[in-house]
Every structure is written in C-alpha cells, then in structure tokens.
Amino acid sequence: MSKQKGPGLLLIGVGTMLTSMTVAGFGLGLFVDYWLDTPPLFMLIFGGLGIVGGIIKVHGLLSKLG
C-alpha cells in the first residue's frame, strides 16, 4: 500500500494542462516577439508548440489510466 501515487495525481490537473500549455506557448512567443521585434512569428511557432506539447502531455497522462 506504500506505492507512490504522485504522477497519477497529476490527472487532477489534466483539464487545465492543455489550455495552460497553449497560453504559456503563446505568452512566451509574445515575449520573444516583443524582445526581437518579430511579431507574430514566434507567437505562432511557440503557440503551435504549446498546443502540440499540451496534447502530448495530456495523452501521456491519460494513457497511464488504461
């Protein structure tokens, strides 16, 4: 019964993981664009990576359920 259940508990936050990674991606891209004066290049690239990363993360967490 002493088995660690930490990673499983991450499922609590799985609902907001996809959205928060998307927002973080767009936010980071916006910051880099502001810094390098290249809008909207990095916002789109990092936003896309955020969406893809969010899907991978959520899929990885949910596939542990099955």
Partner 1 sequence: MSGSSDGGGTVAYIQHHLTNLCVGDCDPVTHKAAGFWALHVDTVFFSVALGVLMIVVSHRLGQNLVTGTPGGFQNFVEMIIDFVSGQVKDTFPGHNPIIAPLALTIFVWVWLMNFMDLIPVDLLPLIASGVLGIEYLKVVPTTDLNTTMAMSLTVFALILYYNFKVKGAAGYLKMFLFHPFGKFFVPVNIVMTVIEELAKPLSLGLRLFGNLFAGELVFLLIALIGGTMAVGLGALIWFPLQVVLDLGWLIFHLLVITLQAFIFMVLTIVYLAMAHTEDH
Q: Which is nearer to partner 1, 16 or 38 (CB)?
A: 16
- Per rule CB under 8 A, is residue 44 in the interface with partner 1? no
- Per rule CB under 8 A, is residue 65 in the interface with partner 1? no
When binding is defined by CB under 8 A, the residue of 30, 44, 55, 57 that contacts partner 1 is: 57
CB 37, min distance to partner 1, A: 19
* CA dihedral for 3, 62, 60, 40, sign (positive or negative): negative
Judge residue 3's burial from the number of C-beta atoms within 10 Å of its C-beta, 0-12 exposed, 13-18 middle, 19 or more buried. Answer: exposed
Q: How many CB atoms lie within 10 A of CB 62?
A: 11
Judged by CB under 8 A, the number of residues near partner 1 is 27
